[in-house]
Amino acid sequence: MIGSWMKIAVAHPILGLLLRIYIGAIFVTASMYKINYPGEFAETIAGYQIVPFWGVHIMALILPWTELICGLMLVLGLRTRAAAVLAGLMLVVFCVAIVVTLARGIPIGCGCFTSVEDPLSWKTLLRDILWLAMSVQVVLFPSALQLEDRLLLSLKEVEG
């Protein structure tokens, strides 16, 4: 009884909608500082000591725009599964970077939302893992109010 109730709750389209908008908003918010201050974000990336020197500036320019587009697609409900997969992949990379940095004892801030943040901690990793789980839910289950559904209906009406 409890198991079936739990399956219904996890797969409910309203939960999918809420998680989709929440994850999308996180990615849009995170991208804003990085887009406005790419130099500071490049310093944060370099602080992780994972990305080769030649890739730091490229990553500082591409990653924020990827986060913005991915977040907007999630919020609007366009290609939500693809956007959620991309968000999940970025979160996996972020989790690996956090684990490596913590294991190496490098005292830096996350650089997720601003350049001045609390130092990385295991709480940061747990937060990202929770966001990853939310992204997986969006990938696996449909969500309500997807703009993509409305566009596909419009195309079918035009064709038919």
Domain boundaries defined on the chain: 12-159
Residue 64 makes CB contacts below 8 A (sequence gap 6+) with: 30, 31, 34, 35, 38, 41
The pair of structure tokens assigned to 32 is: 């804003």
The residue-averaged pLDDT of 32-44 equals 93
Q: What is the pLDDT of residues 78-131, one digit of tens each?
A: 999 999 999 999 999 999 999 999 999 999 888 888 777 788 999 999 999 999
pTM for the model stands at 0.85
